[in-house]
Amino acid sequence: MPRMMVSTRGSVLALLAWQWKKVTLFLAVSTGIYYLHHIHGLGALRLPTAPMGIVGAALGIFVSFRTNSAYDRWWEGRRLWGQLVNASRLFATQALAYLPAGPDGRPSEEQRALVRRHVAYIHALRCALRDQPILTDEAVQRSLGAEERASLEGEPNVGHALLHRQLVTLGAAASRGELHELRLTSLDRTVSALLDAQGGCERIKRTPMPRGYGFIAERLIVIFGCLFPLSMVAEVGVMVIPLNALVSLSFALISEAGRVLEDPFSMFWNGLPLSSMSTMIEINLRARLGDEGLPAPVAVSPQGVLM
């Protein structure tokens, strides 16, 4: 399930287990260097401290730059979904306010179809960004009838197809004189905002960060973790073992933070809570229709995870 960690609680053991390979490497290298230096008396097995300090500073800048760039992608994804939330609420309100209601004053079938199709659009976009099947998704199925779902089979971009049908429906209503030209223009702008947000999300999803960033960072961290004990073993003795693990793991974790933030729509714990946001949009829009049996909001789990 898509999820996002929203709690500040954590476990040091879980953190070490997450990076156990690097922790094992750093501990093994520093233990071996301490053993050779102090047990076998290989005093020449050391490096000056100053060059390693310069390398460490440069490495910190490099991995931090990658992490900051990845966070910018993550935050842009969240901002785009905030835009989708606002535009979705506006679209539903416009559809219900601008088009003629039913004879009893309740939303007409056309208004209901527009709002429910938009709910399906949001869930379809969520599935597309998560690389999940769209037309078999439970939320999409409860928002679209079987006939309309079948007509979407083979569409290369289901989200765009759904928005296209929305505008076709609105254009037909304008042709019948049920929708004023100015109101149609306002709805056009709302659909344009939706397409802009969708395009931004797809750009992030389909444009990964250059692989060289991750490759170089990983190799430099490993090299640093192997050389750092040589510069500190004579000064701190056996404490070089935990010290190397702490310093080198810090660089590794900063680099890993960049890796997991690179795709804000991933299924990892840092991914944006698209299920929660899309369900919230569905609840908001269907409430405007007066529907009963609305889906329950996605709750935060006892572990502090938001799906």
The span from the first CA to the last CA of the chain, in angstroms, equals 7
Given this model, what pLDDT does residue 217 score? Answer: 87
The predicted structure's pLDDT at residue 304: 60
> Which residue matches tokens 């440069």?
58
pLDDT of residue 41: 67
Q: Which two tokens stand for residue 186?
A: 């306002």
Q: Where are the domains of the chain?
A: 21-296
Burial string for 142-174 (b: 16+ CB within 10 Å, else e) reads ebbeeebbeebeeeeebbbbbbebbeebbeebb
- The pLDDT profile of the chain, 307 residues, written as one tens digit per residue, is 444 444 445 566 666 677 778 888 999 999 998 888 877 666 667 788 888 889 889 998 988 888 999 999 999 999 999 999 999 999 999 999 999 999 888 999 999 999 999 999 999 999 999 999 999 999 999 999 999 999 999 999 999 999 999 999 999 999 999 999 999 999 999 999 999 999 999 999 999 888 877 888 888 999 999 999 988 888 888 899 999 999 998 899 888 888 888 899 988 778 899 999 999 999 999 999 999 989 988 877 655 667 6
Inter-residue contact 3 to 307 (CB < 8 Å): yes
What is the structure's pLDDT at 2? 41
